Structure 1
Amino acid sequence: MKKILTLFAVIGLVAFTSCEGPEGPPGRDGIGAEAFEIEASFSFNTTDGYIISDSFGKYLGGDLFQNESVLVYRLEGTTSSGSDVWQLIPTDVYFSNGESITYDYNFSIQAFTIFVGGDNIANRPAYINNQVFRFVIIPADFGTGKSVNKADYSDYNAVIKKYNIDDSNVKRVKL
């Protein structure tokens, strides 16, 4: 009797392990820090509430993994040598007349929203038209534990160095 049960167990194991179902949707490759860039080729405007919003799937091929962190940088300008200057948001931009505007963002595992608020926004076209934002996705594994060598998140170059991101290979998309 034991031999018959063992035979049925082996046959059942072989039968069930060889079954295949339909292939699932494509997802993100592995776990590691990555970056992508969006160029907002439109204006932040009052009609849209001075926000841009989109899903991560368009840029990453899927949602964020649980507990991943997102850093967002705004292209503030370039140096005299032509290097990009990235500014971590949230940030405030102050003007000589005492007015200011604020860039901020929020995100879920599926989507992100970037918004601008502050004084006299509509009269600041250089700050609300054709903005470029770079997103850096940091896996939860990098954020666990206490580390003396934490990256200075306000310094974009320190972040990409810390997380071994190839800055020349960042995916660029117009929104």
Structure 2
Amino acid sequence: MLKRLIFFAWVVLVGVALANCDGDKGDVGPAGKDGATGPAGPQGPKGDTGVAGKDALGAKIITTGPLKTESDGGYSFGISNMTPADTAMLVNAGIFVYIKSKDYWWSIPGPVGFASGDTTSFSFRYALRNGRTFFVLIKPTSWTDDTPTAPARDLDAVRVIIVPTEKFRRAAAIDWKDYNAVVKALNLKDSDAVSADL
């Protein structure tokens, strides 16, 4: 029995001594064949092409010059002969409309101020006709003038910014009601604008 206890104590003592031995570690050896770099994987799909020299998001601007709204206070305009790529983009696009008055770009739907001190609130609708013509209709929804129908207004310009929806999320932090912030974020310039021809 005593022999067994001594043998057991010796085994425990040797185990403890071995567990507490820390020697110097050797250098890391070279990588084996299994650690070598593997062959390149297949090429991924081609990404979307931006509009060269204009903007990274493929956004477009349609603009009018100075105009007077119709007798009902509304106005319609558009652009004809759009390319198939442009009309395909319109199916999945964010449409933003701005009216310039008093040297300020007003986002609609919403109120627009005029030099007289009066305001008109406008909304808008848009449509693609015959697959090639893009129309925008701005309509008054309320006005401060004491008249039964919306008065005709002089507008400095109207601009429509079209942003492809699939790329819209990349610009989610933009304040879309601020025209100047939008064109800056989308890297758009006045020279990029296409004049309405309808």
Match of 1:112 among 129, 133, 136: 136
Q: In the alignment, what sits opposite 2:187?
A: 164
Match of 2:93 among 53, 68, 81: 68
What is the identity percentage for the equivalent residue pairs of Structure 1 and Structure 2?
20
Q: 1:53 Cα deviation (Å)?
A: 2.4
Q: Give 1 or 2 for the bigger CA radius of gyration.
A: 2
Q: TM-score with structure 2 length normalisation? A: 0.52
Q: What pairs up with 1:141-152 in 2 under 5 angstroms?
A: 141-144=166-169, 150-152=173-175
Q: In the alignment, what sits opposite 2:11?
A: none
Q: 1:131 Cα deviation (Å)?
A: 4.5
Q: 1:108 Cα deviation (Å)?
A: 2.9
1:65 counterpart SS class:
helix
Q: TM-score with structure 1 length normalisation? A: 0.58
Question: 5+ unaligned residues in a row in structure 1: which ranges?
Answer: 1-28, 79-84
Q: How many residues of Structure 1 are paired with residues of Structure 2 in the alignment?
A: 131
1:35 counterpart SS class:
strand
Indicate how the Cα distance of structure 1 residues 37 and 45 shifts in structure 2: closer, same or farther if over 3 A, else same. Answer: same
Match of 2:62 among 36, 58, 63: 36
Provide the rounded CA distance (Å) in 2 between the counterparts of 1:65 and 1:114: 18
Where is the strand percentage greater, Structure 1 or Structure 2? 1
Indicate how the Cα distance of structure 1 residues 164 and 107 shifts in structure 2: closer, same or farther if over 3 A, else same. Answer: same
CA contact (8 A) 1:93 1:101 kept: yes
CA contact (8 A) 1:35 1:171 kept: yes
Runs of 4+ in 1 over 4 A off after TM superposition: 121-125
CA contact (8 A) 1:76 1:87 kept: yes
Q: 1:151 Cα deviation (Å)?
A: 0.6
Deviations 1:96-132 (A, max 9, x none): xxx752111012344321111324466855xx13441
Provide the rounded CA distance (Å) in 2 between the counterparts of 1:39 and 1:148: 28
Provide the rounded CA distance (Å) in 1 between the counterparts of 2:150 and 2:125: 25
Provide the rounded CA distance (Å) in 2 between the counterparts of 1:174 and 1:42: 16
1:153 counterpart SS class:
coil
Q: Which amino acid aligns with 2:162?
A: I
Provide the rounded CA distance (Å) in 2 between the counterparts of 1:41 and 1:149: 32
Provide the rounded CA distance (Å) in 2 between the counterparts of 1:153 and 1:86: 12
CA contact (8 A) 1:39 1:174 kept: no
Indicate how the Cα distance of structure 1 residues 173 and 130 shifts in structure 2: closer, same or farther if over 3 A, else same. Answer: same
Q: Which amino acid aligns with 2:176?
A: Y
Query: Pairwise CA RMSD of aligned residues?
Result: 3.4
Deviations 1:16-48 (A, max 9, x none): xxxxxxxxxxxxx897101121136343213xx
